[in-house]
Structure 1
């Protein structure tokens, strides 16, 4: 994902990186060539003159603008839902880590450190003990966004999981097909062990279950977006209409604007084609194109937040300010 700062209006006109213009240049060049042919035919350079009325283009253009508006809205809804799901993943992961660090009862009753300053040493030891007991659980939460990112992008998660999970648990997760769901199962097993050993009461277990179920909803929501694209027939109909309209547009403009036809035809084609290209990119918000979600950075943010709760601050990777590239 490419993020640019607020630019001056003139610099915005010349913005290149992060726009869809680079991929549209060959198509716009084709429209330019058709426009030159239309002008040449209109001036009787060729024997065949093709001239069309602007009325059909006006009607088709209005309908096409409406269709592209619906297409863009449907794609942006998927993009924004994906962003909300990953925001919920961050919130629920923090909540689960906080519960794992505070709700379990210490076996030595050292957590009752609020009786006075003389008990501060015991309270510190209890917090350190709780962190060690909660560490396996938090490690699962740290690995979860990386496993989910790789599943959504159909990439290999081995390197990320091996760096964040114990060897035995890592092999178990890698052996499964739906790795985020397996990590959720491992997290639930940790809660069950803590409850069986008497460190979690029924209310604490319910609190864990509520947040675990919320993360399961996040995983299911992301899988739904990936597995259910917009209907192909709807997409291909708009795609064909856009290119058919842009190919014939020069022959509808040449009677009224003459040699200015190439300029206006290319500009109108850019407007329609760019809308379709942007909608096509954000239809799958978890990809790696310029306007997709920065899942690598979101995963790193979640990991840093959980390490911070463990008392192990992790600095986010530094990025050059002139690039503004988030992957």
Structure 2
């Protein structure tokens, strides 16, 4: 996610890092070059490259901008839902640290609380790797050797960690060391973590329908490459600049919606889920009484991942 102060009016035009221009400038340059060739050909030999009435392009442009707006709205909804889910996970993890204080009445209960919060920390870290499709677990020392070995065998590692948490709580209840009410309270919080996991998997595995994306993608390209024919007779040699601005707008909206559609990636406009997972870790380590904790992650070149 891009994290920076609001730029001034002049600086705004010269910012490239985090801008979609890094992804779309070849297409924009191609449209401008084609426009220059069309204008030159129209002025030198109108019989080969005739002028076209621009009215249809205005109507198509309005329709295309509306559909691109709908797609960007749908993709932003996915991005915002993902952000709310990770915000909820942060809140739930802090609730779990507070609720688990009821276990700290004995030495055995304190060790259990530490184990549960360590599993919570690992869950957040593995959820990042799960959503970003990393193959291997991070190899943290917060798990026992047996748990770490078993974790490497699991296809869904965050779910395995939640099962461990549920198993520990169930064992405490069967041993009579916690009451039904205490078990229900803690287990409900673990269930909320599972709800976050399931919702994130739904977002990752259910993209915007491909046919809808393909239709808008093709239409945007066809419109931008045909636009110079409608501008050549009206704008003359200003056509490449005008066509470039229109291409930047349409290609930029298309590229931005692609980034927002997959909010768990590592592109500049994706969510900083690794930073949020680190914030969860630091919150829980502080709840366990650890000292000399590192600082929260900071943006690198104005980008926080």
TM-score, normalised on structure 1? 0.88
Aligned to 1:110: none
Aligned to 1:196: 174
| 2:88 is aligned with 1:88 | yes
Distance 1:152 1:105, change over 3 A: closer
Deviations 1:249-304 (A, max 9, x none): 01111121111101110001100110010000110000111111112211111100
Asked whether the equivalents of residues 278 and 297 of structure 2 are also in contact (C-alpha less than 8 Å), the reply is no
Query: What is the CA distance between 1:324 and its match in structure 2?
Result: 2.2
| 2:264 is aligned with 1:286 | yes
Give structure 1 regions of 4+ aligned residues with deviation exceeding 6 angstroms: none
Query: What is the CA distance between 1:305 and its match in structure 2?
Result: 0.6
Question: What CA distance in whole angstroms lies between the structure 2 residues aligned with 1:74 and 1:184?
Answer: 31
Asked whether the equivalents of residues 142 and 302 of structure 1 are also in contact (C-alpha less than 8 Å), the reply is yes
Q: Output aligned runs, 1:49-60, within 5 Å.
A: 49-60=49-60
Aligned to 1:106: 105
Question: What CA distance in whole angstroms lies between the structure 2 residues aligned with 1:222 and 1:318?
Answer: 22
Aligned to 1:304: 282
* Corresponding residue pairs, total: 304
Q: Output aligned runs, 1:242-257, within 5 Å.
A: 242-257=220-235
Question: What CA distance in whole angstroms lies between the structure 2 residues aligned with 1:7 and 1:189?
Answer: 51
Aligned-pair RMSD on alpha carbons? 1.7
Query: What is the CA distance between 1:175 and its match in structure 2?
Result: 1.0
Q: Output aligned runs, 1:155-174, within 5 Å.
A: 155-158=134-137, 160-174=138-152
Query: What is the CA distance between 1:44 and its match in structure 2?
Result: 2.1
Aligned to 2:165: 187
Aligned to 1:153: 132
Query: What is the CA distance between 1:317 and its match in structure 2?
Result: 5.2
| 2:42 is aligned with 1:64 | no
Question: What CA distance in whole angstroms lies between the structure 2 residues aligned with 1:137 and 1:206?
Answer: 15
Aligned to 2:79: 79
Q: Output aligned runs, 1:112-261, within 5 Å.
A: 130-158=109-137, 160-261=138-239
TM-score, normalised on structure 2? 0.95
Question: What CA distance in whole angstroms lies between the structure 2 residues aligned with 1:157 and 1:131?
Answer: 30
Query: What is the CA distance between 1:132 and its match in structure 2?
Result: 2.7
Question: What CA distance in whole angstroms lies between the structure 1 residues aligned with 2:296 and 2:183?
Answer: 35
Asked whether the equivalents of residues 35 and 261 of structure 1 are also in contact (C-alpha less than 8 Å), the reply is yes
Q: Larger C-alpha radius of gyration, 1 or 2?
A: 1
The secondary structure found in structure 1 opposite 2:170 is: helix
Aligned to 1:17: 17
Aligned to 1:315: 294
Distance 1:195 1:105, change over 3 A: farther
Gaps of 5+ in 2: none
The secondary structure found in structure 1 opposite 2:227 is: helix
The secondary structure found in structure 2 opposite 1:162 is: coil
The secondary structure found in structure 2 opposite 1:103 is: helix
